[in-house]
Structure 1
Amino acid sequence: MSRLICRGELIEDRWRWVDADEAPAPAAGEGLILPLARWCAQRPGLDAARTGVWLGPDDDVAPLLPWLATLPLIAIRFPVFTDGRGYSLARLLRGRHGYAGELRAVGDVLRDQLYFLQRCGFDSFALRADQPPEEALAAFHDYSWAPLSAR
């Protein structure tokens, strides 16, 4: 199992990423994160408590809206660190649609992005393989923030 940052702590990842063509078979205590199209197609037969969904930067959140209250995890994939569409997806899910479950940033996620990803609503982070999560924890203290009206 890999380690990730969740709500400011290092934890063992209890979720398994499933690609579009992979046949999922969860181990005991493990959840699955399915791509949006597959999640939509198989949703009626899925264990809602152990199945999350992953979104790519081009995915529309509309198919998820009726199910947001039951989704334990939504992962948003960043194909390259310069692609900011995942930030917008996170803001839509948290701000406009009120998603309260785990929102995870995955893919080309770097330490330098963590503070800003958190500000957009992400609460867990699966960092790129060359980014040590132990060192990345300090990123949440890199900046201080106050609303412009408080300055």
Structure 2
Amino acid sequence: MQRLIKNGEIIDETWHLLPKDATLDGLFNSDDLIVPLGLWLDHAHALKARDGGLGVWLDSDEEVEAIADDLSHFQVVALNFPVFSDGRNYSNARLLRDRYSYQGEVRAIGDVLRDQLFFMRRCGFDAFALRADRDPVEALESFKDFSDTYQSASDQPLPLFRRRQA
């Protein structure tokens, strides 16, 4: 069972992440599922009727605008990083939090490494499924890498100079 970092703690994974080529065949009605965007777009009506939890995942070439009207149906939005150097989903996380005021879990999946976690949290991620060969206990330390930030972001809307004035 995979372990993830969520809200600063290490927890056991309880959601099933379906692959990109998944179909509705054989899915249990009560499982908590994170479905690929394509499956959601093709079968939203059937997925909404399930009893289990529902999440969706977007690849780095898919835009959050595709699910903007459906965000109330998802407890989890997972954003895939196919390679460490592909940062397009940082923007999707900011859009979810800042433009669409999404309050559910925003999870980083894929090639997620310790070096990214601090900055991912700044963009609005609150859960991180690290790459399988990485230690989540060691990765927790990345949140202590910087003691303060200058810029505003999803996790701190006021820049440092405004916080100092207050």
TM-score using structure 2 length: 0.83
How far apart, in 2, do the equivalents of 1:29 and 1:126 lie? 22
Q: 1:138 maps to which residue?
A: 141
Instruction: Provide the identity percentage.
Output: 48
Q: 2:90 maps to which residue?
A: 87
Aligned length: 151
How far apart, in 1, do the equivalents of 2:28 and 2:136 lie? 24
Q: 2:152 maps to which residue?
A: none
Output the amino acid matched with 1:98: S
Output the amino acid matched with 1:65: A
Could you tell me how far 1:77 is from its partner in structure 2? 0.3
> Quick check: 2:108–2:129 contact (8 Å CA) kept in 1?
yes
> Quick check: 1:31–1:50 contact (8 Å CA) kept in 2?
yes
Is 2:70 aligned against 1:61? no
How far apart, in 1, do the equivalents of 2:29 and 2:38 lie? 25
Could you tell me how far 1:142 is from its partner in structure 2? 1.0
* Structure 1: 4+ residue segments shifted above 6 A: none
How far apart, in 2, do the equivalents of 1:142 and 1:30 lie? 37
Question: Closer, same or farther in 2 for the Cα pair 1:28/1:64, shift >3 Å?
Answer: closer
Output one character per residue of 1:14-60: Cα deviation in whole Å (capped at 9) or x when no partner: 11111132345456864111110111111111127512110011102
Is 2:129 aligned against 1:126? yes
Could you tell me how far 1:125 is from its partner in structure 2? 0.2
TM-score using structure 1 length: 0.91
Could you tell me how far 1:63 is from its partner in structure 2? 2.5
How far apart, in 2, do the equivalents of 1:89 and 1:139 lie? 22
Structure 2, unaligned runs of 5 or more: 150-158
| Greater radius of gyration (CA) | 2
Output the amino acid matched with 1:44: H
Where does 1:1-151 land on structure 2 (aligned, <5 Å)? 1-23=1-23, 25=26, 30-46=31-47, 47=50, 50-146=53-149, 147-149=159-161, 150=163
Question: Closer, same or farther in 2 for the Cα pair 1:34/1:49, shift >3 Å?
Answer: same
> Quick check: 1:49–1:71 contact (8 Å CA) kept in 2?
no
Q: CA RMSD in A?
A: 1.9
